[in-house]
Amino acid sequence: MHITPEDAARSLAEIRQTQHRALRSAPPLFPSWYLVAVWTFVAGIQLVTEVTPPWVLWIGVPVLAIGLAVAVVKFTNDIRHQSLRPHASVMDPWSWVGLAGWIVVTTLGSIMLTFGLQSLEVDHPRTIMGAIMVAVVAASAPLLTRWMSRRTARRAATSDR
């Protein structure tokens, strides 16, 4: 069997196109639900330490800790069993910088929000901040994880050329 250079180039281009489509349609590299779970844990801790009677700590903190532990196990299991994971060589390092930046921005935002609520003398400022930040994270985390996936797919497509 003889394959011409043109046939080989066409086949390789088809493979790369299929690979790019698969990466673009793959689930996000990092599950956004996990970020929401972590912030829900933070908001729950704020609630049980700031609003509820002291005896609720004995129930609330262990329940929240177990919930976070379950989320970590599920996250680890989901990542380990993803059907399509790009090779480390095509991962866009700037997407991880973006994740770190998002974490810094949401953390600083929560601190500024707490101080702002405290300066306005609002009751339970940390709990209100936690609830607001869960909503912010739930709205922004899916955008972040899709952006990370798009960057990696784009990098994979450009590294093939």
What's residue 89's pLDDT? 66
Q: Which carries the bigger pLDDT value, residue 2 or residue 60?
A: 60
Give how far the C-alpha of residue 87 lies from the chain's centroid of Cα atoms, to the nearest Å: 19
- Residues 54-81: tens digit of each pLDDT: 999 999 999 999 999 999 999 988 888 8
Q: What is the pTM of this model?
A: 0.77
C-beta contacts of 140-146 below 8 A and 24+ residues apart:
140/102, 140/106, 141/32, 141/33, 141/35, 141/36, 142/28, 142/32, 144/30, 144/32, 144/35, 144/98, 144/99, 144/102, 145/28, 145/29, 145/30, 145/31, 145/32, 146/28
* Most confident of the ranges 88-102, 108-122, 146-160: 108-122
What's residue 21's pLDDT? 73
The residue-averaged pLDDT of 21-36 equals: 77
